[in-house]
């Protein structure tokens, strides 16, 4: 991998990753659980509406996946910009 040694590029990439993660978080928690509830009310998972499922369990699963994705992607960015710990 290339060693860019460009701190502004590193922080730009980091902030872009944070923004994408926050958009996914907002879409799942507020979008599917609250705002899109009327549209999703007919879809059932495990005997309940999918919007309730997202609000109770789906959001937690997505949040955990986002944590692992963020850590994995940040490790790649750290190596790319030469700021990794290894």
| Domain membership flag for residue 49 | yes
Secondary structure (3-state) at 44? strand
85 falls within a domain: no
pTM check: above 0.85: no
Asked whether residue 23 is assigned to any structural domain, the reply reads: yes
The domain in which residue 11 lies consists of: 7-80
Number of domains in the chain: 1
Residue 17 covered by a domain: yes
* Cβ–Cβ < 8 Å for 40, 32: yes
Q: CA–CA separation, 35 vs 22, rounded Å?
A: 16
**86 domain-assigned:** no
Report yes or no on 1 lying in a domain.
no
Q: What is the pLDDT along the chain (86 residues), one digit of tens a residue?
A: 455 557 889 999 999 999 999 999 988 888 877 888 888 788 887 788 888 887 778 888 999 999 999 999 999 999 998 887 76
Looking at the domain assignment, is residue 19 inside a domain?
yes
Q: Report yes or no on 35 lying in a domain.
A: yes
């Amino acid at each position: 991998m290339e060693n860019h040694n460009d701190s502004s590029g590193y922080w730009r990439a980091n902030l872009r990753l944070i923004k994408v993660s926050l958009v996914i978080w907002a879409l799942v928690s507020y979008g599917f659980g609250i705002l899109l509830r009327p549209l999703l009310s007919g879809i059932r998972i495990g005997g309940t509406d999918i919007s309730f499922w997202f609000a109770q369990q789906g959001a937690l699963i997505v949040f955990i996946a986002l944590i692992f994705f963020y850590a994995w992607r940040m490790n790649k960015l750290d190596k790319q910009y030469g700021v990794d710990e290894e």
